[in-house]
């Protein structure tokens, strides 16, 4: 349940279209050391058995991902998460408020074999999350253990938010590919470290700073905490074309990601004509890809207000543009 008691993170009825056979085939592939393309409510993931170093190595190879960047362990429920990680009272409060949903908790590892060294990049902490998408939860429940699943893009590229985009990126590496429809959130999960001191926001996401602070009080600033957030490379989420952020208008030859009222035209992709941040987040990565396909000289992006979900959108845009956030 989401914090307001609704199923707002979950795609409506998406499970209906999936036969039990698909879910069991995915669980079997994971047990056999294979990779599975898995929908979540945030973005598509490329999953493997977290306890199997060979399977995890195949993920790093498929994505071309640097091995110092640790992965998120996805589990079916809070009980499984608590067996893997040491979740203190604050972590439990966040889990209760936002799971299943787009929140990842980084906590001390309790069962180091359940999420192998390679998956944790050798750290003594582990990232855990219970996704909200019913199809991924069904696969996790059928599998039983933890599934590490980075976003299914090749390293450095925008995360895939539709089955087709995911399949185009890494589908050829997957033993089973599950279509769960377009991702409702469209941005990766919020990552919060709950270690010593106040909880620390490592990656802004769909669960906003204000929502987190309503549960655990003021967060510590993550700036300069590179050791605890090893995956935050400068150039990330990047399409092929250069990205120019905070653009008032496109220059000749540029594609334009508008926000709010803007005249339609060639090369214009409006993230949200009504200026709605939730809609803009859901459209961001698929529009970056669509803009890229028209081969512009650059992709100009309108200013996005830095409040609520805008913090996560601007974080991704700064990285797509090559600036450290």
Residue numbers of the site for ligand TXA (CB under 6 A)? 40, 42-43, 45, 69-72, 104, 106, 120, 123, 125-127, 131, 149-151, 188-189, 191, 202-203, 228-232
8 A C-beta contact, residue 141 and residue 74: no
State the binding partner of 116 from Mg ion, ligand TXA, none, CB within 5 to 8 A by kind.
none
Distance CA(46)–CA(44), nearest Å, equals 7
* Closer of 42 and 286 to ligand TXA (Cβ): 42
Q: Which residue is nearest to ligand TXA (CB)?
A: 231
The answer to whether 10 contacts Mg ion (rule: CB under 5 A) is no
The kind and range of the H/E element at 103 are strand 103-108
Two structure tokens written together for 299: 């992709």
Q: Tokens 């598509």 map to which residue?
A: 44
* Closer of 14 and 151 to ligand TXA (Cβ): 151
Q: How far is the CB of 236 from Mg ion (least distance, A)?
A: 7
State the binding partner of 106 from Mg ion, ligand TXA, none, CB within 5 to 8 A by kind.
ligand TXA
Q: How far is the CB of 7 from Mg ion (least distance, A)?
A: 25
Which of the stretches 10-18, 147-155, 213-221, 300-308 binds Mg ion when contact is defined by CB under 5 A? 147-155
What is the spatial order of strands in the sheet that 268-270 belongs to?
A: 243-244, 299-301, 255-258, 268-270
Count of residues of this chain found to bind Mg ion when the rule CB under 5 A is applied? 1
State the binding partner of 190 from Mg ion, ligand TXA, none, CB within 5 to 8 A by kind.
none
Q: How far is the CB of 228 from ligand TXA (least distance, A)?
A: 5
* Closer of 44 and 99 to Mg ion (Cβ): 44
Q: How far is the CB of 151 from Mg ion (least distance, A)?
A: 3
Two structure tokens written together for 45: 């993931």
Q: Comparing C-alpha atoms, which of 248, 222, 251 is closest to residue 315?
A: 222
The answer to whether 151 contacts Mg ion (rule: CB under 5 A) is yes
- Ordered DSSP codes for 8-47: TTSPTTGGGG--HHHHHHHHHHHHTT--EEE--SSS-EEE
Q: How far is the CB of 183 from ligand TXA (least distance, A)?
A: 9
Burial 155-193 (b: 16+ CB within 10 A, else e): ebbbbbbbbebbbebbbebbbbbbbbebbbbbbbbbbbb
* Closer of 72 and 255 to ligand TXA (Cβ): 72
The answer to whether 170 contacts Mg ion (rule: CB under 5 A) is no
* Closer of 300 and 309 to ligand TXA (Cβ): 309
Distance CA(296)–CA(301), nearest Å, equals 13
* Closer of 150 and 204 to ligand TXA (Cβ): 150
Distance CA(38)–CA(187), nearest Å, equals 15
Length reported for the chain: 325
* Closer of 180 and 296 to Mg ion (Cβ): 180
Q: Which residue is nearest to Mg ion (CB)?
A: 151
Q: What is the DSSP letter of 127?
A: E
Can you give the binding site for Mg ion, defined by CB under 5 A? Answer: 151
């Amino acid at each position: 349940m989401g914090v307001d008691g609704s199923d707002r993170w979950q795609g409506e009825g998406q499970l209906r279209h999936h036969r039990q056979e698909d879910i069991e085939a995915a669980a079997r592939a994971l047990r056999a050391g294979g990779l599975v393309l898995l929908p979540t409510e945030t973005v598509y993931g490329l999953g493997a058995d977290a306890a199997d170093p060979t399977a995890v190595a195949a993920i790093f190879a498929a994505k071309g991902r640097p091995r110092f960047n640790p992965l998120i362990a996805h589990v079916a429920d809070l009980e499984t998460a608590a067996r893997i990680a040491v979740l203190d009272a604050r972590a439990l409060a966040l889990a209760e408020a936002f799971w299943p949903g787009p929140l990842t908790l980084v906590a001390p590892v309790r069962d180091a074999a359940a999420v192998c060294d390679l998956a944790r990049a050798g750290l003594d902490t582990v990232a855990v999350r219970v996704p909200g998408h019913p199809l991924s939860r069904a696969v996790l429940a059928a599998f039983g253990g933890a599934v590490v699943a980075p976003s299914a893009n090749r390293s450095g590229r925008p995360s895939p938010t539709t089955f087709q985009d995911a399949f185009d990126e890494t589908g050829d590496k997957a033993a089973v590919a599950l279509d769960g429809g377009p991702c409702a959130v469209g941005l990766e999960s919020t990552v919060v470290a709950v270690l010593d001191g106040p909880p620390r926001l490592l990656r802004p996401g769909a669960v906003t700073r204000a929502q987190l602070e309503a549960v655990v009080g003021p967060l510590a600033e993550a700036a300069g905490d590179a050791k605890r957030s090893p995956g935050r490379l400068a150039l990330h989420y990047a399409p092929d074309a250069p990205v120019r952020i905070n653009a008032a208008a496109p220059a000749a030859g540029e594609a334009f990601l508008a926000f709010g009222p803007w005249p339609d035209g060639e090369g214009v992709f409006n993230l949200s004509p009504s200026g709605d941040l939730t809609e803009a987040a859901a459209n961001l990565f698929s529009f970056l890809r669509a803009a890229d396909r028209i081969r512009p000289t650059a992709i100009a992006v309108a200013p996005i207000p830095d409040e609520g979900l805008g913090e996560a959108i601007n974080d991704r845009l700064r990285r797509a543009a090559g600036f450290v956030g």
